[in-house]
Amino acid sequence: MNIADAYDFIIKLTANNNREWFNAHKAEYEQAKTAHEEFISLLITKIALFDEDIKGVNVKECTFRIYRDTRFSPDKTPYKNHLGAYIAAQGGRNSERAGYYVHLSPDENFVSGGVYCPQPAILKALRNAIYNNVEEYLALVNRKDYKQYFTEFFSDSLKTLPRGYPKDFEHADLLKCRHYSPAAPLPNDMWRMPDCMDEIVKRLNVLHPYNKFMNFTIDECLLHIAERN
């Protein structure tokens, strides 16, 4: 199996999201899981060529389980309809640092990065960093290659400016974000393209300077938290 076969399995699972079908196709799922992990493992190696922080990241720490937690959800379908991996130093999917996310599903495929759902102390530090270095931040997101690929942004913005910032700040919307996560949509047939890996690496390489900006602040913040504890 390769990543295209894993994609085909997710399409079938989405159309048959129940335990009976999944159990009857468990061997096929295991093959798809292995193919996905092999793809992500190779991707980690390629990212590490331009982002040294990613060297040695464990693929098992980066990939997400297929099983949904349905305890508090009205949606009781037992399995996710996608494969996901968050590649980041210091814990993979559980890392506090900005990293690289890859999302494979029947009809919503993308890569993203930055930080999603940061803890309050980190979110506050990132807002301060952007406020104090707004020209540097704007230069990152206005680069031609960045704007070519990263056309979406996960922010879940507040309605009002957080306390402590001047109301007349020209770029106030940047400080209202709850997340700082740029995303680059992928065509649904990306996983069947012979240059799939190269295209994904190209996009994530473009994202590296953004993550570097985020991680400078995140690392300082985590150090301060550790010193207080």
Whether 6 shows a pLDDT value over 90: the answer reads: yes
Query: How many angstroms separate the first and last alpha carbons of the chain?
Result: 47
Whether 46 shows a pLDDT value over 90: the answer reads: yes
186-214 pLDDT, tens per residue?
999 999 999 999 999 999 999 999 999 99
Q: What gap in Å lies between CA 1 and CA 67, rounded to an integer?
A: 21
Closest CA to 131 of 104, 89, 163: 163
CA dihedral sign, ordered 91, 95, 101, 105: positive
DSSP states of 142-165 as a string? T-HHHHHH--EEE----SSPPTTS
With a CB cutoff of 8 Å and minimum separation 6, the contacts of 2 are 35, 39
CA dihedral (119, 123, 124, 125) in degrees, to 10, reads 100
Domain count, the chain: 1
Q: What is the mean pLDDT of residues 33-49?
A: 98
Q: What is the mean pLDDT of residues 152-174?
A: 96
Q: What gap in Å lies between CA 60 and CA 42, rounded to an integer?
A: 13
Structural domain for 178, as ranges: 3-228
Reported residue count of the chain is 229
Residue type, 135: E
Q: What is the mean pLDDT of residues 179-183?
A: 98
Residue 141: its pLDDT value, please?
Answer: 98
Q: What gap in Å lies between CA 8 and CA 116, rounded to an integer?
A: 28
Angle CA 167–172–173, to nearest 5: 140
56-98 pLDDT, tens per residue?
999 999 999 999 998 888 989 999 999 999 999 999 999 999 9
